[in-house]
Amino acid sequence: MSIGATEIEGIARLARIRIDAADVARYAGQLSQILTYIEAMNEVDTSGIEPLAHAIDAVAACRPDLVTETVDRATLQAGAPRVEEGYYLVPRVIE
Amino acid sequence: MSWETVIGLEIHVQLATASKIFSGAATAYGAEPNTQACAVDLGLPGVLPVLNARVVEMAIRLGLALHAEIAPSSVFARKNYFYPDLPKGYQISQYELPIVARGRLPIRLADGREKVVRVTRAHLEEDAGKSVHDAYPGATGIDLNRAGTPLLEVVSEPDLRSAEEAVAYMRTMHMLVRYLGICDGNMQEGSFRCDANVSVRRAGSEVLGTRAEVKNLNSFRFLEKAINFEVERQIDLLESGGKVVQETRLYDADRDETRSMRSKEDAHDYRYFPDPDLLPIVVTPTQIERERALMPELPWARQQRYVTDYGLNVQDADALAQDRAVADYFEALAAAAGDARAAANWLNGEVFAALNRAGMEIPHCPVEPSALGLLIARVRDGTLSGSMAKQVFEAMWQGEGSADEVIEARGLRQVNDIGALAALIDGVIADSPSQVEQYRAGKDKLFGYFVGQVMKKSQGKANPQQVNDLLKEKLGGS
Amino acid sequence: MFAETVTAIAADLKAGRYSSADITEHYLARIAEFDPGLNSYITVCADEARAAAARADALLARGEGGPLTGVPYANKDIFCTRGIRTSCASRMLDNFIAPYDATVVEKLTGAGMVMLGKTNMDEFAMGSSNETSWYGPVRNPWDLSRVPGGSSGGSAAAVAARLAPVATGTDTGGSIRQPAALCGITGLKPTYGRVSRWGMIAFASSLDQGGPMALTAADLALLMNAMAGHCARDSTSVERPAEDFTRLLAQPLTGLRIGLPTQYFAAGLDPAMREAVDAAVGVLRALGADTVSVDLPHAGYAIPAYYVVASAECSSNLSRYDGVRFGHRCDDPRDLTDLYTRSRAEGFGAEVKRRILVGTYALSAGYYDAYYGKAQQLRRLIQQDFTRAFAGVDVILGPTTPTTAFELGQKTDDPLTMYLSDVYTTAANLAGLPALSMPAGLIGGLPAGVQLIGNYFDETRLLNVAHQYQQETAWHLARPPHA
C-alpha cells in the first residue's frame, strides 16, 4: 500500500502528532514499506474465521459497587504541567 | 408543501452507583475538583479498568423494563478521540455488541393518544470530565471527577414525529429510570441528558432527511424549544433552496436558538475496536431472572391498575404513578383508608401542599400512610367532620399524635346526635326571626346563613349533612 | 566471594555468609564501575536499595526471611515504582514520578527483594535493539559495538554483566526472549494473564506480559513464585490455584516429546545458528527426550499480524500522553491542538511515532477489516496451529533469533529489517503461550539462544527442560568480557 503525504498528514492529525514538512516524505516511505509488508496477510484465506481478541478464554472480572479509593490529589497532581485550584489547565477551548 | 418532522433521541442516563464504572472512586456530585479522580480515572500510565458489577445489573433492569433483548455476551469498545476532558484519549463504550437492543417504550400524549416508541439499543459507557471555560484567562480548567461515572446511553429509533412526542418520550424514560432505581433523574446535576437528532422531510416521503444533532438538552422545556427552533430552521433552509448540513449543534436557552458547535470540526473517525483490557460481559439467564424478580411494578402497569381497580381517572392515575415513592404511599394510603378516591384527593391536596411548604420529598413525610388512612376513615365514619380534617392533619404533621389522639385532645368529635343538633337548630331559629321570615318568604340564599350559624354555635363540630336535613325540615319549604 | 545466581545468593543470605547490605553494596559498586560503558540503568536507586537491604537483614536476623528476602534485583523502567521516576525510556515520561507501585513491584518488594534501580529499554517497549531509548542505547556486554536486543535490553545487559542477579522484563513480541538470547541469559515470557499488568505501562494490551530474566531457569522459577498470581486490578489476569514453579525442575526428561517446526528450520536459517540449535536438541535427546516434526503453517504471518495488532493497540494506549495531566508538555502552547501535536511530537521518538501512525491508519475508517480484523483472524489461525501441534508434543523448540547480536546502528535506518528479528518470537505472544529462551552456544564469541514454547500455563515444564539442560551444559554460566 502506497502512502502519500496527504495521507500522512491526515493520520498525523488524527493521532495529534505534529510532523514537520521535511519529515513527511520519510514517514510516508516507511509506512508504505511497512504496510506493503503487512499486506502479506492477504495471502491467507481467512473467510469464516472468528477474530481472536483475547488469547485466554475467560469471563469478565467484576468488582462490587464500593468506594475503595481515597484520592490523594496532591500526589496525583504533583507532576501536572499546569494546575490551579485543583483544575488541570489547558489553552482555552471554544465550544 | 407540507413537512414531516422526524426525531430520534439519545438519552444519557447516569447510573446511580456509589463508585465509578471502572474504578473504585466515588461518584457523589459536587466534590472539589479532581478529588474524586483516582489514578484509573486520570488515565495515568499503567492503570487498568475493572468493571463495576452493579452497572450490569442496572442495564439488565432497564432492558427488562423495555422488553428488550439482553445480550448474553457484549463487548466494550474504545471510542478514540482527543479532548481534554477525556483523559485516556479514548472513551470506553460499546459499539457493535451493546448489552441491550431492540426494546420499546410506550408513551401517552396529552390528548390521550398512545404510541409505542422503538428503542434501538442501550449501551454502557464511561462519562467524561467537565470543562470550566470562564474561570481562568486564556485557559480552560479540567475537572475529572465526573470521568468514569457510569452511563447507559439509550438510543431511540427516529420514531418521534413532533416536539410533543419527544418530550413525552423523554418524560416517560425519566420516570422509568427513577422507578427502576437506576438513576436519580436530577437534570440540573446532569444525571439525565438528552441529545436530539432532528430532521424534516416532505410529508409522505419514505426517505429520511439530513439530520442535525442538538446536544446536551437537560430539561423538557429546552428539548421542546430546541426542536421547535431546529425544525423551523431546517424548513426555512430547505424552502429557500439550501441544504441541511449534518452537524452537531448546541441549544442557547438565552437566545432560544441552536448553533453549530465550532470545536467538533470534521466528521470524527473514532477508530472503534474492542477494548483489549476488558473481557466480554457475560449475562446468564440466572442473572436476568434475578433482576426480573427484583423489578418493581412498572409505572404504566400501575397507572392501568389505578384506573381499573381503583376507579381513578387517567390523569389522576398518571399523576400518582409518576413517582414510585408517591405511588407506594398512595397504595398504602388507599388500603388504610379503605377509599382510593379519598386517598388520591388527600395526596394530591393536603399532603403535597404540606410537602411543598416544607420543601420535602414524600419519603420524609412525617405522616405515615397508615396514620393518614385512619384520619380519612374517621371522616368517613362520621367521627370527624370533613371541615375539621385539615386541622387534624396539620396537628398530626406537627407530631401531636394519631388522628384519634388529636380529635380527643382538641375535642373535635363531630356532633352527630340528632337531639343535640335539633336543640342547636331550634336555638338558631329562635335567635334569627327576621332571617327565618325572609327565608320562608322565598329568599333561598339565606339557607347558607343558617348553616353558618349552626356550625359557629357548634364550633364546627356539627355533622353538616344532618344539619342540612334538620334545617330543611325545621325551616320548612320555600 | 559473592554468589551470582538468585538461588545461591538466597542460600548464602539465609546461611549468614554475608548480608543483604553487603551484596547490595557489591552490586551498586559494580554498577558504578561498569554501567557507564553499558548504559543498562536509567535510574540507580542507591538510597532506597540500602534501606531495603537493611529491612531485609532485620528479617533474616530474626529468621523470618522468605526464599527471596534480601536478594537484589532490577526493574525494567516500564514498571511503575512509587516515588521513583518511571520513564519508559521516553522523553514523554522523563519527569514522571509514579504515584503507585506496579503489582509486580509490590509483590517483589513484599517478598523482601532489594531494588537496585530501573533498567533501560526501547522507548515504550517498541524495538528489538534498545536503540530507541531517550537515554541512549544500551551496549551488549559481550561486544560493546553491538546491541543487547530489545525492548528489555537494559535488563538483559545488566544481568549478563552481573550488575543484577535478576531483572524484570516485559515481552510483547519477543522483548524478554530476544535480548536474553543476544546477551546469553535465560528469560521467560509467561502465559498471558499469569503476571499482573497493573502498573506495567501498556504498549499492546493483548500481547504484553511481564516476566523474569536471570542467569538460570531455577532462578526464573523462584521469581515466578513471587511474581505470578491473579490481580483484582487487572481484568485480564487469570485466576488459578496457587502453584510452585520450582516443583518440576528436577524431573527427568525421559519421554519428553519435543516438536521441531519445519518452518523454524527452513533453508534460510543461518548455518551456525542451526548448528547451535541442533546441538541443544542433541543434549535434550541424550537426556531422554524424543523429537518430532511439527507444522506451523501460518508461522510466516506472525510478524505482520503482530505488527498490526501491536500498532493498533499502542496507537490507542499512547493517546493519554497529551501534555495535560502529567509528562512532557511543550513550551507556550498556542492552543489545544498545538499543545497536543507539539507535546507528542517532542515527547515521542521516531519509532514510537511510526507505530502510532501505522496503528491509527490500521484502525481508521475503511481499513479496520483489512488490517485489524484480518490480523485477529490470522491470530486465531496461529493459535489453532499451536493447539494442533501440542496435541502431539509437550514443548516446541527452535532458535530464539535468526542471528546473534547485530551492530549498533546497523538496522536503525530500516524499520522493516528490525521487525524481522522477531520472526520466531511473535507467534507465542499472539497465541498467549508461555515461552522461554536459554543460552545454547557462542557463535563468533556472541551468545545464541534456543527458544522453548509451552502449552497454556505449562511454565513449569519449560523451566524443567531448561533446568535439566543447564545441569548438562555451561552456556548459561559464561561471562561476557565487558563485565
Query: In this predicted model, what pLDDT tens digit does every residue of B208-240 receive, in sequence order?
Result: 999 999 998 999 999 999 999 999 999 999 999
φ, ψ of residue B252 in degrees (nearest 5): -100, 110
Segments in C124-245 forming alpha helices (H): 153-160, 177-183, 217-227
Which amino acid does the sequence have at C208?
D
- C178 to each of C219, C278, C380, C419, how far by Cα in Å? 18, 19, 24, 12
Residues 225-254 of B with CB under 8 A from A: 250
Residues of B in Cβ contact (< 8 Å) with C320: 43-45, 87-89
Question: Domains in chain B, ordered, with CATH?
Answer: 3-287 (no CATH), 297-385 (no CATH), 418-475 (1.10.10.410)
Q: What is the pLDDT of residue A44?
A: 95
The grid coordinates listed for B408 are 380527643
Which amino acid does the sequence have at B18?
A
pTM score, whole prediction: 0.91
Residue A34: inside a domain: yes
**Which residues constitute the domain of residue A34?**
5-42
Which amino acid does the sequence have at B98?
P
Question: Any residues with CB less than 8 A from the CB of C30 and at least 6 apart, and which?
Answer: C161, C162, C163
> Can you tell me the mean pLDDT for C73-80?
98
pLDDT band, very low/low/confident/very high, at A95 (cuts 50, 70, 90): low
Closest-approach residue (CA) in chain C for B88: C320
Closest-approach residue (CA) in chain A for C82: A75
Dist CA A6 CA C232 (whole Å): 45
Dist CA B52 CA B18 (whole Å): 10
pLDDT band, very low/low/confident/very high, at B414 (cuts 50, 70, 90): confident
Helix axis angle, B324-337 relative to B314-321, nearest 10°? 120
| Average pLDDT of chain C to the nearest whole number | 96
User: Which residues is B140 bridged to in the sheet?
Assistant: A90
Q: What is the pLDDT of residue B478?
A: 47
Q: What is the pLDDT of residue B419?
A: 85
Alpha carbon B127 to its chain's center? 23
> Can you tell me the mean pLDDT for B256-269?
73
Is residue A7 within 8 angstroms of chain C, CB to CB? yes
Q: What is the pLDDT of residue B477?
A: 54
| Least confident stretch, A1-15, B249-263, C295-309 | B249-263
Q: CB atoms < 10 A from the CB of C234, how many?
A: 22
Residue A26: inside a domain: yes
Dist CA A21 CA C31 (whole Å): 43
- B236 to each of B73, B239, B244, B257, C142, how far by Cα in Å? 46, 5, 10, 14, 78
Please measure the distance between the N-terminal and C-terminal CA atoms of chain B and give it in whole angstroms. 67
φ, ψ of residue C437 in degrees (nearest 5): -120, 135
- Known catalytic membership, residue C189: no
Q: Is the pLDDT of residue B244 over 80?
A: yes
Segments in B1-146 forming alpha helices (H): 39-42, 53-65
> Can you tell me the mean pLDDT for C367-394?
96
The grid coordinates listed for B223 are 428539548
> Can you tell me the mean pLDDT for C10-17?
96
Q: Do B51 and A73 touch (CB under 8 A)?
A: no
Dist CA C321 CA C101 (whole Å): 19
Q: Do A63 and B274 touch (CB under 8 A)?
A: no
In three-state secondary structure terms, B394 is helix
Q: What is the pLDDT of residue C465?
A: 98
Please give the residue that has the higher pLDDT: either C418 or C111.
Answer: C111
Marked catalytic residue, from C19, C20, C40, C76: C76
Q: Percent of chain C scored above 90 by pLDDT?
A: 95
Which residue from C86, C340, C364 is facing B271, i.e. has the nearest CB?
A: C364
Residue A57: inside a domain: no
DSSP per residue over chain A, as a string?
A: ----HHHHHHHHHHTT----HHHHHHHHHHHHHHHHHHGGGGGS--TTPPP-S-SS-----EE-S-------HHHHHTT-SSEETTEEEEEPPP-
Domain count, chain A: 1
> Can you tell me the mean pLDDT for A22-26?
94
Residues 92-121 of C with CB under 8 A from B: 93, 96, 98-100, 102
B306 to chain A, closest Cα gap in Å:
36
Dist CA A17 CA C126 (whole Å): 17
Residue A19: inside a domain: yes
Question: Domains in chain C, ordered, with CATH?
Answer: 6-251 (3.90.1300.10)
Q: What is the pLDDT of residue B264?
A: 47
Please give the residue that has the higher pLDDT: either B22 or B323.
Answer: B22
B-interface mutation test, from C97, C196, C363, most B Cβ less than 10 A away? C363
Which residue from A14, A73, A91 is facing B35, i.e. has the nearest CB?
A: A73
* DSSP strand pairing (B273-274 vs B77-80): antiparallel
CB B345 within 8 A of CB B393: no
Residue A87: inside a domain: no
Q: Phi/psi class of residue C444: alpha, beta or left (left: φ > 0; alpha: ψ in -120 to 50)?
A: left
Dist CA A93 CA B47 (whole Å): 27
* DSSP strand pairing (A87-91 vs B139-143): antiparallel
> Can you tell me the mean pLDDT for C351-362?
96
Dist CA C95 CA C321 (whole Å): 13
Which ipTM value was assigned to this complex?
Answer: 0.96
Dist CA C33 CA C29 (whole Å): 6
Q: What is the pLDDT of residue C366?
A: 87
